[in-house]
Amino acid sequence: MKNYKNIQQPIIFIGSGRTGTTIIYELVCRHPSLAYPSNYQQKFYKYPVINLARNIFDNKLWRKFGQKKQLNKTGFLNKYHFIPGENFGMWNYLTGEDIDFSRDFLLDTKISQERIDFIRNYFSKMVIYQNKERLVMKINGAPRISFLLQLFPDAIIISLKRNKIPTLNSFLKVNFWKKRGYNKLWWYGAYSDKELEFAESIKTDPALITVFQLCKIDQVAEMEVRKLKPKYSEIHYEEFVENPLQTLNKIIDVGNLKEYDFSNDLKEIKVYNQNKKDTEYFPDEKLVEINKIIKNFSS
């Protein structure tokens, strides 16, 4: 494996999605040491040199940031900024046609040394072209820890978590999920025959099939962490919205990053607590069914 100093100890955020991953990740990406995959890389994923575009927005004279349009208002020019992204198109290109990075848990997937070197070289160029020192990325959905550690053995894994009921409600409201795991298993490669049979029995109920998948993501991540023992930490949405600055400082500490004051960034990216009481999301009868699935995974 070729060594590249600038991709040592990359910080990798994982989580199911709809757990505050975007806002936390975008804030962390404002740390001046960090390079990250962007909206530019998603469109031009074959060309690492596109990362030079970051220097137009972030340099010694000024630092201009865009953000994914969610809770905060964005201007017309926002889409032209260099915005952090997950970039599954980029990942599918990097891992090749034999691997379905977007949907597979990749638990037993081995990757050739040649491909590993290709991917590591790609990310090293990303850091260089962005004129930064370290690498950070976010990958939602299946945790893929086993696979990622083949690429980055010294990676710092940070799992972003949120209470299940509001996470579930958020999934059911977004259009992309209605086209994916709303009535079927979206991720594959980690289910037992018994679990597949159970999933088939509940697939007509979006709430149940979705919470089943969310629980499986957590279960697999916990299994991989126990087995592989990476440098690992958990950040909870609830603690973040209660004290954003403290949580961001915790991430800085976990990631072995230089101190950085996020105060001004938090004035621009407002943090809102989107959690409500569970009964405001679902009726009592449905909560009983949902919590039964959650309990079965935790037992």
The answer to whether residue 253 sits within a structural domain is yes
What pLDDT was estimated at residue 72?
60
Residue 273, domain member (yes or no): yes
pLDDT at 67: 83
Q: Give SS3 for 35.
A: strand
- The number of domains in the chain is 1
Domain CATH for 88: 3.40.50.300
* Residue with the two structure tokens 């349009």: 69
177 occurs within a structural domain: yes
Per the domain annotation, does 160 fall within a domain? yes
**pTM for the predicted model, two decimal places:** 0.96
Q: Is residue 1 part of a domain?
A: no
Domain assignment present for residue 2? The answer is no
User: Domain for residue 254, yes or no?
Assistant: yes
Residue 189 near residue 106, CB atoms below 8 Å: yes
Give residue 115's pLDDT. Answer: 97
pLDDT tens by residue, the chain, 299 residues: 888 999 999 999 999 999 999 999 999 999 999 999 999 999 999 999 999 999 999 999 999 998 876 656 666 678 889 999 999 999 999 999 999 999 999 999 999 999 999 999 999 999 999 999 999 999 999 999 999 999 999 999 999 999 999 999 999 999 999 999 999 999 999 999 999 999 999 999 999 999 999 999 999 999 999 999 999 999 999 999 999 999 999 999 999 999 999 999 999 999 999 999 999 999 999 999 999 999 999 87
CA pair distance 164, 24, nearest whole angstrom: 18
pLDDT tens-digit readout, 141-190: 999 999 999 999 999 999 999 999 999 999 999 999 999 999 999 999 99
* Cα separation, 44 vs 27, whole angstroms: 24
The per-residue pLDDT of the chain, averaged, comes to: 95
8 A C-beta contact, residue 115 and residue 2: no
DSSP H or E stretch at residue 159: strand 156-161
Nearest in space to 235 (alpha carbons), one of 158, 153, 156: 158
Return the pLDDT at 3: 86
In the numeric block, the tokens 């400082």 are attached to: 249
* pLDDT value for 2: 82
Whether 165 is in a domain gets the answer: yes
Range of the domain at 22: 8-298
Total residues belonging to the chain: 299
